[in-house]
Amino acid sequence: MIVEESLARTRDYIRQWRRDGSRIGLVPTMGYFHAGHCALMKKARERADRVVVSLFVNPTQFGPSEDFSQYPRDMEGDCEKARLSGVDLLFCPRADEIYDRQDQTAVTVSELTKGLCGASRPGHFRGVTTVVSKLFNIVQPDFAVFGEKDYQQLAVIKRMVADLHIPVQVIGHPTVREPDGLAMSSRNVYLSEPERQAALVLHKALQTVRQEASRPDGSRRTAELVAIGRQMIASEPLCRLDYFSVVDGSSLQEHEEITAGARALGAMIVGSRVRLIDNLELLPGRGEG
C-alpha cells in the first residue's frame, strides 16, 4: 500500500492507473478507522481495480466550538487497517495543500443542508461539499463510497454530484454497528463506560419508532413518531437531545404522514461533549443509499 501526502504524486499514480484502464474507487475519510470505515474500503475493493482512501481531518467542516483539534488520530493503526482492507493508496494530504493560502471557493447545497445536522452545525455541510469536490477533482474516481450513518451527508453529496454533473458514482453503505446496536463512530472512543451504555438509547429510540411505524395498526403520523423518539432520549439522563426527526428519505423534508422510504434521524450529546448521530429507514422504499 502506498501512503502519499503530495497532491502531485497522487495525481501521478492516478494518471498511470487511468492509462492502464483501471477502475478507481475512492473512500473519503477523516481517519481513526473502525469496522465501519473498513467495510467501506472492502466495498470499494470489490468494485474497483484500485482503491484510494483519503484521510483528511477537514478543518472547514468543524465549527469554532467543535472538536477539530481533539478529533482522534492514529496514523499507524489507520495504515495497518487500510492495508488489511486491500487499499492501494492512502492519500493523506496536508491542509495547506488542500486549502491554498488564497483559497476563496466554496461548493454549497442549499435545501438539503438546512435542517437536521445542518441546523445544529452551521457551515458544516459547506465544508463537506467543498472538500469532497476537491478530493473528487484530485482523485477523479469512477465511484466513491460513503457510509449511511452520515445519512444527510450522503444525500447532500448525491445531490451535489447530480447538480454539478460530476462524473463520479456515489455509493452508500449501510451503517456498521457494535453487537449491541451502537453505530460505529470514531467519536465513540471518548465515551466513559456509563456514557457508552447511555449512548445506546439513540439506536433503541430509532428501533422503537421503526417498530411503531411498521406495525399494521401503528402510527404513520410524523408528530407521533417523533414524540416517541424524543421522549426515549429525554429519559436518559446522560444524553441531551440535539434533534430527532422523521423525514422523506430523498428530500429530507418532513411530511405530516410518512410514506415509503421515510427515515428517522437523530443526534444527541452524550455526557458533556460527545455528539453522536444515527438513523434508520422506517418504511422500505425509494430511500437514498
What is the binding site for a second copy (CB under 8 A)?
Answer: 7, 11, 98, 100, 102-112, 129-130, 133-134, 137-138, 140, 159-160, 162-167
* The three grid cell numbers given for residue 189, joined into one nine-digit string: 472512543
Query: Is residue 71 exposed (0-12), middle (13-18) or buried (19+ Cβ within 10 Å)?
Result: middle
CA 37 → CA 30, 31, 45, 169, 206, distances in Å? 10, 8, 12, 18, 22
Nearer to a second copy, 138 or 176 (CB): 138
Kindly provide the b/e burial profile for residues 147-175, where b requires at least 16 CB atoms within 10 angstroms of the residue's own CB: bbbbbbbbbbbbbbbeeeebebebbbbeb
Spatial neighbors of 49 by CB under 8 A, at least 6 apart, are 17, 20, 22, 23, 24
Catalytic residue among 37, 124, 173, 203: 37
37 is catalytic: yes
Residue 30 and residue 44: Cα distance in Å, rounded? 17
**What minimum distance in Å lies between the beta carbon of 48 and a second copy?**
19
| Residues annotated catalytic, as ranges | 37
